[in-house]
Amino acid sequence: MNNIFDSHAHYADNDFGKVRDELLKQLPGKGVKYVMLASTNVTDTVKNLDLARKYSYMWSSVGIHPSDSETTPADYLDLLRETAADPKVRAVGEIGLDYHYEDFSKEIQMKFFTQQLELAKELGKPVIIHSRDACEDTMEILHRYRPEGVMHCFSYSAEIAKEIVKMGMYVGFTGVVTFKNANKTIKAVEAVPMDRLLLETDCPYMAPEPFRGKKSDSSMIAYTAAKIAEIKGLTTQEVLDITCENAERFYGIRK
């Protein structure tokens, strides 16, 4: 397998420890063409850019995850804007809404979400959207701003997936599609045309079967692609080729 484009990964995450750099050196030999490093806070944004500069096949984003919004400094937009000037930065994200945990402020999350959507428009960059247990508010904001974007780690219904596609956005799927209880995700995959579908690991999370429960890495996307190939009536390599081209187009990467 080749032409793997991991459209959403977290290799700056400390979970990889000392083995991270050795793993990253090996990925191109395992069929990985590109990796997009998704940022979640100010520190993560800086670390991801450092990694993207070190590894030629890696790219980076700038952004504040909704769960980090309440601990982010007031001048964060200036830092994101400055960092986004680097040619290795190809997106703003991951940004959005997350109502999964208690003791969060919807108002603060919405403020950060809309501010970063406006920043992305100013910079002319696509956005990586995180949305968990916040479908109604997320869709209302997306309909209002109509960004060029991807809903990553998609967890909503096939109907919402269709709505995302109608807005001209992409939908990202993880190894969850390989799980035994993944009927909802499979229906969403069925609803998304291949030219609007991206593959991701969200590593070190969401490892596909047969690695569920272990740390994931970008080479495991081959297993996710195999499941989607089964759903779509394609070969695994066709799925990898199409989704790689989709991600290259979305992130403006051509070599």
Torsion of CA 14, 228, 192, 246, to 10 degrees: 60
Average of per-residue pLDDT values in the chain: 96
To which H or E segment does residue 132 belong? strand 127-132
Q: Partners of 203 in the beta sheet?
A: 9
∠ Cα 24 30 35 (to 5°) = 50
For the domain made up of 4-251, the CATH class stated in words is: alpha beta
Q: What is the reported pLDDT for 128?
A: 98
Identify the residue with better confidence: 254 or 205: 205
| Mean local confidence (pLDDT), 49-67 | 97
3-state class of 91 per DSSP? strand
The amino acid sitting at 85 is: A
H helix count then E strand count, the chain: 9, 8
pLDDT band at 253 (very low <50, low <70, confident <90, very high): very high
Mean pLDDT along residues 86-102: 96
d(CA 92, CA 74): 18
Percent of the chain whose predicted confidence (pLDDT) is above 90: 94
Confidence tier at 102 by pLDDT (50, 70, 90): confident
Indicate if the pLDDT at residue 99 is higher than 90: yes
Residues 129-138, mean pLDDT to the nearest whole number: 98
pLDDT of residue 37 exceeding 90, the answer is: yes
| pLDDT of residue 255 exceeding 70 | no
**Across 52-60, average pLDDT:** 97
> Residue 251: in which H helix or E strand, if any?
helix 236-251
The pLDDT value recorded for residue 76 is 97
| Residue 82 in this model has a pLDDT that exceeds 90 | yes
pLDDT at 98: 97
| Closest of 251, 246, 250, 252 to residue 3, by C-alpha | 246
* Angle (nearest 5°) at CA 193 between 220 and 133: 70
pLDDT in tens, 201-213: 999 999 999 999 9
Structure confidence at residue 18 (pLDDT): 83
Least confident of 60-64, 102-106, 174-178, 227-231: 102-106
Per-residue confidence (pLDDT) for residue 103, from 0 to 100: 84
Question: Dihedrals φ, ψ of 109, to 5°?
Answer: -60, -45
Q: Say if CB 98 and CB 108 are below 8 A apart.
A: no
Measured distance CA(10)–CA(187) in Å, rounded: 27
What confidence score (pLDDT) does residue 1 get? Answer: 83
Q: Which two tokens stand for residue 222?
A: 């081959």
Rounded-to-integer distance, Cα 185 and Cα 242, Å = 19
pLDDT digits (tens, 9 = 90+) for 150-176: 999 999 999 999 999 999 999 999 999
* Domain boundary assignment for the chain: 4-251
Q: Are 47 and 10 in contact, with CB atoms under 8 Å apart? A: no
